[in-house]
């Protein structure tokens, strides 16, 4: 960073020396004007086009007709790509998922773990449904916030590293309870991801009421061990806005 600043400083001095201060001032003014306009344009585009497409995508219900190797997976494909990047980068021993549904995301996680030859998946759901069999998938049936389920997870994970994905019931109180219970499995540098933070008007389903986004906001006000990793939203369309939480201290 210091070398970069020195490079720009030398360039400014050279321009002033060769072309004069007034020429430099006009160029600097045009540059900063373009930069400010560009930032304003990006903000407007984000609010209008990105959030607009987000609503089109969500209300089309195409996410209810998305599958991984023929198994329904109710996640945004762009988020799945981010998941595989995180799994490859952090290589967790376990991926703990609440909200199994048809098992598509559990199969996806297990498949990525198989490719990198690292990791097991624990998937938790209150309902017992048929899901794909895979040697890297362990299934727990029960309420994700119950003491019985937490004890089972603790017994399996122990002190090993885990990535946590919360995608069960979406009411704020339930999600906040999940975050408070499961964040202990996440070690420094690893992730806890809260799905569906886009509901309650962020930007879809404004009628929902307090949900995952509000749970995240409440949690981060109380705990400073996690930060929102906004670079995981680089594809702009995500079901987890402000939901990729990275532990920065243990």
pLDDT at 8 over 60: no
The model's pTM: 0.83
> What six digits make up the tokens of 113?
């773990």
Rounded Cα distance between 6 and 13, Å, is: 11
State the greatest distance between any 2 C-alpha atoms of the chain, in Å, as a whole number. 76
Nearest Cα residue to 171 out of 132, 215, 127: 215
What is 65-247's CATH number? Answer: 3.40.50.150
How many whole angstroms from its chain centre is CA 200?
Answer: 17
H/E stretch holding 15 reads helix 2-19
pLDDT at 6 over 70: no
H/E stretch holding 247 reads strand 244-247
**pLDDT in the model for residue 110:** 98
Residues 172 and 154: beta-carbon distance below 8 Å: no
User: Phi and psi for 140 in degrees, rounded to 5?
Assistant: -125, 125
Dump pLDDT digits (tens) for 93-105: 999 999 999 999 9
Q: What interhelical angle do 2-19 and 21-45 show, nearest 10?
A: 130
Instruction: Give residue 79's pLDDT band: very low, low, confident or very high (50, 70, 90).
Output: very high
Dump pLDDT digits (tens) for 164-185: 999 999 999 999 999 999 999 9
In the chain, pLDDT over 90 holds for what percent of residues? 78
> What six digits make up the tokens of 231?
């670079």
pLDDT at 150 over 80: yes
Average pLDDT over residues 223-239: 96
Average pLDDT over residues 54-74: 95
In the chain, pLDDT over 70 holds for what percent of residues? 84
How many whole angstroms from its chain centre is CA 124?
Answer: 19
Q: What interhelical angle do 77-90 and 104-116 show, nearest 10?
A: 40
Residues 240 and 193: beta-carbon distance below 8 Å: yes
Q: What interhelical angle do 172-182 and 212-222 show, nearest 10?
A: 50
**pLDDT in the model for residue 11:** 63
User: Can you tell me which residue has the tokens 């209300």?
Assistant: 59
Average pLDDT over residues 118-134: 95
**pLDDT in the model for residue 36:** 73
- 26-40, 197-211, 216-230: which has the minimum mean pLDDT? 26-40
Instruction: Give residue 161's pLDDT band: very low, low, confident or very high (50, 70, 90).
Output: very high
Dump pLDDT digits (tens) for 44-58: 666 778 889 999 999
């Amino acid at each position: 960073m210091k070398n970069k600043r020195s490079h720009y400083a030398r360039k400014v001095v050279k321009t002033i020396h060769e072309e004069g201060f007034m020429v430099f001032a006009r160029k600097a003014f045009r540059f900063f004007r373009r930069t400010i306009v560009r930032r304003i344009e990006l903000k407007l585009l984000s609010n209008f086009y990105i959030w607009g497409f987000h609503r089109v995508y969500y209300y089309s219900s195409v996410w209810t007709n998305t599958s991984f190797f023929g198994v329904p997976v109710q996640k945004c494909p762009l988020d799945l790509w981010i998941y595989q990047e995180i799994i490859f980068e952090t290589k967790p021993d376990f991926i703990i998922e609440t909200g199994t549904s048809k098992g598509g995301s559990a199969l996806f996680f297990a498949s990525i773990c198989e490719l990198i030859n690292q990791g097991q998946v624990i998937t938790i759901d209150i309902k017992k449904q048929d899901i794909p069999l895979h040697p890297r998938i362990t299934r727990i049936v029960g309420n994700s916030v119950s003491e019985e389920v937490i004890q089972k997870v603790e017994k399996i994970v122990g002190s090993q590293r885990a990535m946590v994905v919360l995608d069960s019931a979406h009411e704020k109180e339930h999600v906040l309870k999940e975050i408070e219970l499961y964040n202990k499995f996440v070690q420094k540098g690893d992730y806890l991801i809260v799905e569906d933070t886009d509901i309650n008007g962020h930007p879809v389903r404004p009628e929902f009421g307090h949900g995952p986004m509000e749970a995240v906001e409440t949690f981060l006000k109380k705990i400073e061990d996690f930060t929102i990793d906004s670079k995981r939203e680089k594809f702009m369309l995500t079901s987890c806005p402000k939901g990729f939480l990275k532990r920065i201290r243990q």
